[in-house]
Structure 1
Amino acid sequence: MPQLNPTPWFAILIFSWLVFLLVLPPKVMAHTFPYDPTSQSTKKPKTESWTWPWH
């Protein structure tokens, strides 16, 4: 029965793991995000009361 011969399937398994572990991570990590989040200032913004024109 050819399905029980591990020779071709073992090579395919090893090659696929090599691709997943050696080729794909650098490609995925090379992507950049559309914006770089910057730290917000610690100053509290000055809030002003709302001026209601009908009062």
Structure 2
Amino acid sequence: MELEDMTNEPWQKIAVYGIEGIYHFFPESSFVPFVAVGVGANRYGLGEGTIHSDINNCA
């Protein structure tokens, strides 16, 4: 098996997803308490055309 790197394919694929929100209880007063909430996820892996993924696919 010949191993070669695909030049037009990134060697890593990374995606980041997230959403955040903030709520002010008394926006007109001099003291403004708030609550902040957020959720998110990271996804990462090797690109399809890398040497490492070719080796793993043959095993």
**More helix by percentage:** 1
TM-score (norm 1): 0.21
With a CA cutoff of 8 Å and minimum separation of 6, indicate the structure with the bigger relative contact order: 2
TM-score (norm 2): 0.20
**More strand by percentage:** 2
